[in-house]
Amino acid sequence: MVRLNKIYTRTGDDGTTGLASGDRRPKYDLRVEAYGTVDETNAVIGLARLHTAAMPALDGMLMRIQNDCFDLGADLATPDTGEVPEYEPLRIVDAQVTRIEEDIDTLNADLEPLRSFVLPGGSEAAAHLHLARTVARRAERLMVELSDREGEIVNPAAIRFVNRLSDFFFVAARWVNDQGRADVLWVPGKNR
């Protein structure tokens, strides 16, 4: 279990941060940006959960996803160097991807069919879930960019996970909007 006795260490005062491997990277490093954006996604989920307590099935899904987001951050903060590590690093696994897919299917089964693109909003919970969706998409873009960098390896299951994550938030946002009946729909050219 993680144990934090002291919150400030002063080791980051030089503009670097420590990865789980012990390596130091600049705070603007793409890997740090990726797991920082996953952390930002997790914070937005916390905001959404302020409005989902009365929806125990969805709130339980969101709580599991918050925990999985910490797993994802740990995965990204522990670079795969291609060498056998001294310890077993925490990695996202396919079962976590499958679980999100099952949750998406569960929520999607109740939704009205889409007739247009959905504008972010409707209820407070939906607005926060749409925000989580966009932040998760940014995390995905950063992770894919990181995986394209020479010398950087990103767990393929982690990329699948974050891709499904934004899909989950989209479906969940529609679900909290009265199963899609209260969605705010885009009307192309409406204000011309």
Instruction: Return the pLDDT at 154.
Output: 97
Residue 60 has pLDDT above 90, yes or no: yes
Q: Once rounded to an integer, what is the mean pLDDT over residues 149-178?
A: 97
Greater confidence (82 vs 150) lies with: 150
Residue 15 has pLDDT above 90, yes or no: no
Q: Nearest-CA neighbor of 186 among 121, 124, 110, 128?
A: 121
Residue 167 zone, left/alpha/beta (φ > 0; ψ -120 to 50; rest): alpha
Instruction: Return the pLDDT at 2.
Output: 61
- Residue where the block lists tokens 């050219």: 189
Structural tokens at position 3: 């144990």
Split at pLDDT 50, 70, 90, the class of 11 is low
Handedness of CA 74, 71, 175, 160 (dihedral sign): positive
84 contact partners, CB below 8 Å, separation of at least 6: none
pTM for the whole structure? 0.91
Instruction: Return the pLDDT at 23.
Output: 83
What are 62-113's pLDDT values in tens digits?
Answer: 999 999 999 999 999 999 877 777 888 899 999 999 999 999 999 999 998 8
Q: Once rounded to an integer, what is the mean pLDDT over residues 142-160?
A: 97
Instruction: Return the pLDDT at 48.
Output: 98
Q: 185: part of which helix (H) or strand (E)?
A: strand 184-185
Residue 1 has pLDDT above 60, yes or no: no
Q: Once rounded to an integer, what is the mean pLDDT over residues 133-150?
A: 98
Least confident range from 124-133, 159-168, 169-178, 181-190: namely: 181-190
Round the average pLDDT of the chain to a whole number and report it.
92
**Distance from C-alpha of 135 to C-alpha of 42, rounded to nearest angstrom:** 9
- The residues that bridge with 18 in the sheet, in sequence order, are 24
